[in-house]
């Protein structure tokens, strides 16, 4: 049974229901509308296990609810549309060649040309649309460093770091590039995925390879804020897990000093601290994470993060991180609004959903909620660390 087809039907059922599906009350109403039990609907939406063993009659009732004759009718429509859309997306990717070839030939500096970055960001939405489109892009353009540097190194996709097909791509990128900055970025992402998956991944760089790449980058005598932040966060993970808190504190102090010396913008400094805090909270240092974000200025946040910019952050990621840290530190939600995904959420959507599950669980003091709602997400992302959060962070 196609997991993607089931996901498509889930979205159609939600659209037909025209209201959030998740609470017991909403599932009870949907059960009345469809003629199915609440327990069956919980399996269908991945809130409990068993979603892959749903019967034909169950799927047909859900398909009928969405206006189809039965499951077979829905699946035929889904397959035809999916194949057609994939072909169109692949053709679109092929048509990107003029832009990518010209960029590589003339070595265009995309950091100084807003039109170039806007084009890249528009293309990224198609490239990252699915596994099929990403693999196809890599097959077509793996030799074009100008294109792949941007797609893989400068706009990291937080949803994919623990998925081996993507890890294989960025491992190949790390091996083929001659740019130590790009190589460092790819190794950083591989090691972050290793941490998030609790070691359940392939294509792991060695510590010596990673450290050598970092040293090669430092010889360039430039400071790349995002990659420095990610390198530091990974060093902090190692020090924390080894119980070397002297090293841990020294690393954090050194990074914050270099950040102050090398980044002039207050907003960008806080933005990088927020990224760092997002990782720190996952291994349990609530106090350090809170200290990093306590002075975060929300004024103008939407204006600054409304479009994908250098660091790739978005509004939903910001709000989820701040809310999570404050729920754990003060047992309250700091921003009393829903973290609505923005137009660039394709880079964070699944990762943010993990954060939102923890926030809901801890805000309601219901540890079982976390286990139920992370099951399908963990299966999808392989971010197994989130299934352990209820045990790492004690609910007050």
pLDDT digit string (tens) for 316-333?
Answer: 788 788 888 887 777 766
Using 50, 70 and 90 to split pLDDT, how confident is the model at 149?
Answer: very high
Q: Is the pLDDT of residue 101 over 80?
A: yes
Determine the pLDDT at residue 364. Answer: 62
* Lowest-confidence region among 133-137, 213-217, 299-303, 349-353: 299-303
Domain that residue 221 falls in:
158-392
Rounded to the nearest 5°, which phi and psi values hold at 8? -60, -40
* Lowest-confidence region among 61-65, 168-172, 336-340: 336-340
Using 50, 70 and 90 to split pLDDT, how confident is the model at 76?
Answer: confident
305, 329 contact by CB (below 8 A): no
The pLDDT > 90 percentage for the chain reads 45
Query: Of 108, 138, 155, which marks where a domain is finished?
Result: 155
The pLDDT > 70 percentage for the chain reads 85
- Ramachandran class of 256: left when φ > 0, alpha when ψ lies in -120 to 50, beta otherwise: alpha
Q: Same structural domain for residues 246 and 374?
A: yes
Q: Same structural domain for residues 200 and 295?
A: yes
Q: Same structural domain for residues 255 and 301?
A: yes
Q: Same structural domain for residues 268 and 129?
A: no
Q: Same structural domain for residues 240 and 383?
A: yes
- Residue with the two structure tokens 């169950």: 58
Q: Same structural domain for residues 239 and 382?
A: yes
Render pLDDT for 103-143 as a digit per residue (tens, 0 to 9): 999 988 887 777 888 899 889 999 999 999 999 999 999 99
Exposure on the CB side of residue 240, measured as CA atoms within 13 A: 18
Q: Same structural domain for residues 69 and 113?
A: no
44, 10 contact by CB (below 8 A): yes
Using 50, 70 and 90 to split pLDDT, how confident is the model at 146?
Answer: very high
In a domain, 128, yes or no: yes
Give the tokens for residue 355. 């954060």
Determine the pLDDT at residue 306. Answer: 42
Give the tokens for residue 343. 């137009």
Render pLDDT for 4-54 as a digit per residue (tens, 0 to 9): 788 889 888 988 888 777 778 888 899 999 999 988 898 888 777 665 668
Q: Same structural domain for residues 142 and 195?
A: no
Mean pLDDT value across the chain: 84
Q: Same structural domain for residues 277 and 382?
A: yes
In a domain, 62, yes or no: yes
Determine the pLDDT at residue 370. Answer: 53
In a domain, 238, yes or no: yes
In a domain, 106, yes or no: yes
Q: Same structural domain for residues 197 and 244?
A: yes
Q: Is the pLDDT of residue 220 over 60?
A: yes
Q: What is the largest CA-CA distance in the chain?
A: 66
Q: Same structural domain for residues 222 and 106?
A: no
In a domain, 330, yes or no: yes
342, 17 contact by CB (below 8 A): no
In a domain, 91, yes or no: no
Higher pLDDT, 370 or 218: 218
Q: How many domains, in total, are found in the chain?
A: 3
Determine the pLDDT at residue 309. Answer: 41
Average pLDDT over residues 224-236: 95
* Lowest-confidence region among 107-111, 209-213, 315-319, 373-377: 373-377
In a domain, 88, yes or no: no
Using CA atoms, how far apart are residues 205 and 207, in angstroms rounded to an integer?
7
Q: Same structural domain for residues 261 and 341?
A: yes
In a domain, 68, yes or no: yes
């Amino acid at each position: 049974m196609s997991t993607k087809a089931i996901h498509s039907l889930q979205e159609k059922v939600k659209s037909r229901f025209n209201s959030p599906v998740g609470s017991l009350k909403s599932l009870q109403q949907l059960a009345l509308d469809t003629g199915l039990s609440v327990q069956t609907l919980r399996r269908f939406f991945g809130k409990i296990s068993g979603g892959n063993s749903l019967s034909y009659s169950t799927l047909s009732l859900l398909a009928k609810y969405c206006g189809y004759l039965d499951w077979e009718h829905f699946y035929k429509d889904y397959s035809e549309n999916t194949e057609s859309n994939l072909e169109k997306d692949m053709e679109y990717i092929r048509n990107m060649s003029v832009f990518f070839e010209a960029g590589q030939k003339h070595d265009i500096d995309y950091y100084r040309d807003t039109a170039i970055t806007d084009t890249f960001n528009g293309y990224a939405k198609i490239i990252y649309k699915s596994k099929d489109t990403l693999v196809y892009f890599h097959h077509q353009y793996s030799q074009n460093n100008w294109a792949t540097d941007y797609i893989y190194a400068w706009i990291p996709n937080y949803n994919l770091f623990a998925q081996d097909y993507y890890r294989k791509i960025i491992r190949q990128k790390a091996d083929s590039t001659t740019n130590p900055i790009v190589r460092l970025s790819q190794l950083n992402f591989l090691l972050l995925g290793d941490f998030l998956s609790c070691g359940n991944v392939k294509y792991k760089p060695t510590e010596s390879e990673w450290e050598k790449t970092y040293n090669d980058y430092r010889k360039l005598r430039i400071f790349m804020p995002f990659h420095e932040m990610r390198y530091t966060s990974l060093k902090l993970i190692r020090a924390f897990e080894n119980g070397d808190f002297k090293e841990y504190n020294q690393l954090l102090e050194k990074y914050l000093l270099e950040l102050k010396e090398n980044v002039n913008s207050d907003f960008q400094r806080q933005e990088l601290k927020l990224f760092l805090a997002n990782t720190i909270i996952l291994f349990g240092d609530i106090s350090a994470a809170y200290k990093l974000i306590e002075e975060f200025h929300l004024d103008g946040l939407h204006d600054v993060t409304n479009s994908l910019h250098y660091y790739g952050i978005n509004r939903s990621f910001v709000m989820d991180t701040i809310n999570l840290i404050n729920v754990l530190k003060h047992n309250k939600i700091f921003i009393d609004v829903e973290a609505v995904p923005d137009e660039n959420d394709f880079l964070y959507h699944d990762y943010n959903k993990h954060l939102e599950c923890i926030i809901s669980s801890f805000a309601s003091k219901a540890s079982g909620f976390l286990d139920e709602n992370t099951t399908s997400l963990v299966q999808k992302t392989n971010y197994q660390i989130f299934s352990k959060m209820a045990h790492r962070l004690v609910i007050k």
